[in-house]
Amino acid sequence: MTINNEADLGEALKNEQDTIEIEGHLISKVLKIKATGKVSWAIAIAAIGIAVAVLIASGGTGAPASGIIGGGAVAVLGLTTAISAVSIAVAAGGVGALNSLRSYEIAEQRNGKLVLKRK
């Protein structure tokens, strides 16, 4: 199954799929999340975690993700990638999915597709 949206990627991570094939706009966001250094990621994930907690606790009816993501996540990832990260984490049920995404290896990247394999 090819994934092209944050909700499906969150589900794939939650289900611990061994291989994830991504296409479309999501590729650049996933690559940015994976390429973020450890210290920068710690800053970003803290802000993302707060946004995810608010959205999950409110049943998704809280403030829009763009309004509650901390400046640290936006500074590290950029606004669109930070919003995608929140969406992925909400779909997966928590920010742990983003950490697992970072542990996947890039198996292939060509022809508008990115294939990730679980370590």
Q: Are 30 and 101 contacting, i.e. CB atoms less than 8 angstroms apart?
A: yes
DSSP 7-46: HHHHHHHHTT-SEEEEETTHHHHHHHHHHS-HHHHHHHHH
pLDDT per residue as tens digits for the range 49-103: 888 887 777 766 555 555 556 677 888 898 889 889 999 999 999 999 999 999 9
Coil, strand or helix at 4: coil
Coil, strand or helix at 42: helix
More confident residue, 58 or 114: 114
| Mean pLDDT computed over 11-30 | 97
Burial (Cβ within 10 Å: 0-12, 13-18, ≥19) of residue 44: buried
